[in-house]
Amino acid sequence: MLITDKNVPIQIASKPFASGGEGEVYNITSPKNFSKQIVKIFKPSKRTAEREAKIQYMLAHPPAYLSNASNAIVWVKDLVYEEGKFVGYTMNMAYGVKLEYLCGSKVAKSIGKDFQKYDFKYKEAYFWRLKLAFNLAVAVVQLHKTGKYVMVDLKPDNVIVQANGKIALIDMDSIEIVENEKVLYPASAHTPEFSPSESLKIDKDLIPESWDRFSLAVNIYKLLFGIHPFTGTCKPPYENCNNVEQLIQHGLFPFTKSEHFEVVPPPHKRFLQSDLEIQLLFRKCFDTNTKPEDRPTAMDWCEALLPYARMVLNAPKIEEEKPKKKLIIVKEKVDKQVDKKKSWITFSRKKHKRQLPFQGRKVSWWKKFVQIQERITPEFIMLFLLFAGGLIGTSATYISQKIQEIREVENQRQYEIFVKKAIHFLEKDDAESAISSFAYALRYKPKDRFADGKLRILKKQKFLKVGEKLFSERKYVEAVSQYDYALQEIPYDSLTLARRADAVFAHAVESGEIASYFDIKLKIKKLPNYLYANCANELFISAHDLGHHFQPSYEVEGAELIEKAQKGRVTLIPRAEKVTFKLKNRGMIVEVIDFEVVQPPLPKINITPFWKDKFESPFLSISAAPHTNFSAYYNADAAYKVSKWKFSILREDKTLYTKIFTNPTVNSYEFKTLYGNEQDRALDKWQIDILEVVRRNYKGKYEPVPLANTKTKFVYNQYFEEIW
């Protein structure tokens, strides 16, 4: 008997519907409230105490927004035990197909008709794929937002997609769990085709989040272009790189190292047809000169793909391979009747020299049929047309074509009647009747620009007239709603926008709530209660609803104020511990905000060895990286550099030689020259002490950075492996 950690007994199917190297997945048959869940039962060798602890940790620390209805991450629901021993866990069922089915140039028909819109033979297939890529990036953002999880084995086989673009990440029990930069539970699997080039050098016990950035980019590339990014035939000296893993290790991406490729597969051409911003993200991720931590994040992909995620797309019309059985039977019967009448009709034409029966008085009969055909069911019409066509020797297609022609003529006639009526009503200043007439005209000719344009103008004028009346009666809120209706008919109309702004401003002044119409933001889009000292803190102030009544002015205490040419944009440079900012509009104080002044976040020191040539000594690069949020929103103040550092040789914890450098990049050969004639030893340690870091501020001047709470001491062996 299986029982959950909440003491709920469950029953599962007799056979699994999926299996893998670690366990098998079963449907849950009872109780009913578990019908949309499944259970993964681990193999006996995998039911360890560490595995149980890992699943318990995941249950206690779910990713952000996991309760969302999209269910983008298939997470742990309950632990499952058998006779008191841990055997597996339950999770939600993920519906759809694996992403791998959509990662080729063609979409298999076996996965269903709804997925055919992703086939590249349809024009909108690329945009559907962009939407899917956006949803995949959003799911990875949710996972990384906790700062605890690295998926590691992110590949199309671990992503389930639906035809509507929804995705679900599966096989989550194999992820890596990190806390305070220490691995609590390592990842249990990874796939070389989706692993970065540093996968052979990196410490497998601590896989950074930059690993997932590479895997995500490979998944998106396969999805958008139908091919793995690292494929092609190379020239010497890389002619022996025959698989994807070898190409990744050498960074052989066709669009960053094109000189090394002899043959580039045709699907790669789709890359050059994509948006420039998307191309730049791929180039930055796959370029060997890019540091792993500088690869595009999942959030970067979201921002680049967001415009396409908002697009409204219509699925292409995919023809059915086989018509319905009932229609097949009817058509066969009618075809037999047509064959029987064929010889008689041919003889009748030769003998009487008569044409097909669509002339003279018979046309009126067909018109009557067109008038009543809307009241008859489509099935009856099809049977009638096929039967009539068989009797008179005419195909049903020809009869339907004639009916369509008559319907079009009738629609045009009705359209002209109502347009003439509308014009007649306009001459008599009867706007209401004219609006009704144009609306009826559009029923018969929906896409007519003349009638649609006239109707929109008349509706706008109607709403403006009502709005002006309400404004004169001091009913400002109701007037704004009328102006909004007018803007729905003709958006961005200058006259309507001006009238709306007048009504909003009048209501704001009368109610005393003018402050609520102002929006004050920093670059971070959410106004904090602090400013950074000696930094350019930009404020964005807007009041779109006020229109031409938006005339801001400012007063500030404790800071230097720089007002920019664009209305509503100011920069504050704090000069005291507190700053008071006053916003005015037309001389009237709208809002007063008090800010505390804090120091900019300290940078992180990075020491990175790299090789310009495999036959040369390694180079050492020392840099100071700013905090991520600080560099994103204060890029003019976030340029750090290490201006002075000291190198020391330690032997048995005693300092033998020291040298001070000011260049952030140094060849390690200079370190060994300090030994002179003395032989270096394998147990010698190299110590680097950071003495001075400077920051370039918004004025372009450098100022020293305090290093009290920053790691400034680094100890390595002679192979640049950090010891402490």
Across the chain, which distance is largest between two alpha carbons, in Å? Answer: 122
Cα–Cα nearest to 705, from 651, 624, 613, 611: 624
Q: Do residues 526 and 396 both lie within one domain?
A: no
Compare 635 and 104 and report the one with higher pLDDT.
104
Q: Do residues 280 and 344 both lie within one domain?
A: no
Q: What is the mean pLDDT of the chain?
A: 80
Q: Do residues 299 and 192 both lie within one domain?
A: yes
Q: Are 650 and 684 in contact (CB under 8 A)?
A: yes
Q: Residues 211-233: what's their mean pLDDT?
A: 94
Pick from 199-203, 305-309, 689-693 the range whose average pLDDT is largest.
Answer: 689-693
Final residue in a domain of this structure, among 64, 92, 120: 92
Q: Do residues 535 and 628 both lie within one domain?
A: no
- What is the structure's pLDDT at 553? 87
Looking at the domain assignment, is residue 472 inside a domain?
A: no
598 residue type, one letter: V
Q: Do residues 214 and 277 both lie within one domain?
A: yes
pLDDT at 100 over 60: yes
Compare 213 and 21 and report the one with higher pLDDT.
213
Find the CATH number of the domain harbouring 581: 2.60.40.60
The pLDDT > 70 percentage for the chain reads: 80
Cα–Cα nearest to 648, from 609, 675, 629: 675
Host domain of residue 366? 325-446
Looking at the domain assignment, is residue 394 inside a domain?
A: yes
Final residue in a domain of this structure, among 66, 92, 118: 92
Q: Do residues 581 and 628 both lie within one domain?
A: no
Q: Name the least confident of 210-214, 220-224, 257-261.
A: 257-261
Q: Do residues 233 and 353 both lie within one domain?
A: no
Q: Do residues 564 and 671 both lie within one domain?
A: no
Looking at the domain assignment, is residue 317 inside a domain?
A: no
How many angstroms separate the CA atoms of 572 and 536, rounded?
6
- pTM score of the predicted model: 0.48
How many angstroms separate the CA atoms of 234 and 674, rounded?
43
Q: How many domains does the chain have?
A: 5
> Per-residue confidence at 50, pLDDT binned at 50, 70, 90?
very high
- What is the structure's pLDDT at 4? 92
pLDDT at 209 over 80: yes
pLDDT at 169 over 90: yes
Find the CATH number of the domain harbouring 24: 3.30.200.20
The pLDDT > 90 percentage for the chain reads: 24
Q: Do residues 202 and 262 both lie within one domain?
A: yes
Q: Name the least confident of 146-155, 202-211, 323-332, 433-442.
A: 323-332
Q: Do residues 589 and 692 both lie within one domain?
A: no
How confident is the model over 504-525, as pLDDT tens digits?
Answer: 777 777 766 666 666 666 654 4
pLDDT at 46 over 50: yes
pLDDT at 329 over 50: no
Q: Residues 188-207: what's their mean pLDDT?
A: 81
- What is the structure's pLDDT at 496? 80
- What is the structure's pLDDT at 231? 93
Looking at the domain assignment, is residue 705 inside a domain?
A: yes
Q: Residues 418-440: what's their mean pLDDT?
A: 85
> Per-residue confidence at 201, pLDDT binned at 50, 70, 90?
low
- What is the structure's pLDDT at 453? 84
How many angstroms separate the CA atoms of 622 and 362, rounded?
93
Question: Which residues, at least 6 apart from 405, have a Cβ–Cβ distance to it below 8 Å?
Answer: none
SS (H, E, C) 123-171: CCHHHHHHHHHHHHHHHHHHHHCCCCEECCCCCHHHEEECCCCCEEECC
pLDDT at 402 over 70: no
Compare 289 and 668 and report the one with higher pLDDT.
289
Q: Name the least confident of 34-48, 646-660, 678-692.
A: 678-692
Q: Residues 296-307: what's their mean pLDDT?
A: 86
Looking at the domain assignment, is residue 484 inside a domain?
A: no
- What is the structure's pLDDT at 340? 44
Looking at the domain assignment, is residue 455 inside a domain?
A: no
Q: Residues 713-717: what's their mean pLDDT?
A: 81
- What is the structure's pLDDT at 713? 84
Q: Name the least confident of 15-29, 50-64, 583-597.
A: 583-597
- What is the structure's pLDDT at 551? 83
Looking at the domain assignment, is residue 438 inside a domain?
A: yes
How confident is the model over 357-391, as pLDDT tens digits?
Answer: 434 444 444 445 545 544 444 445 545 555 555 55
Which structure tokens are listed for 379?
Answer: 């099935």
How many angstroms separate the CA atoms of 636 and 358, rounded?
79
How many angstroms separate the CA atoms of 332 and 591, rounded?
80
Find the CATH number of the domain harbouring 243: 1.10.510.10
Q: Name the least confident of 104-118, 568-582, 656-670.
A: 656-670
How confident is the model over 118-157, as pLDDT tens digits?
Answer: 999 888 888 889 989 999 998 999 899 888 999 999 999 9
Q: Do residues 210 and 262 both lie within one domain?
A: yes
- What is the structure's pLDDT at 600? 87
Final residue in a domain of this structure, among 574, 598, 622: 598
pLDDT at 534 over 60: yes
Pick from 141-155, 487-501, 657-671 the range whose average pLDDT is largest.
Answer: 141-155
Compare 138 and 671 and report the one with higher pLDDT.
138
How many angstroms separate the CA atoms of 444 and 439, rounded?
9
pLDDT at 724 over 80: no
Alpha carbon of 681 to those of 73, 651, 652, 719: distances in Å?
52, 8, 11, 12
Q: Do residues 30 and 175 both lie within one domain?
A: no
- What is the structure's pLDDT at 137? 92
Looking at the domain assignment, is residue 243 inside a domain?
A: yes
Cα–Cα nearest to 291, from 720, 624, 608, 657: 608
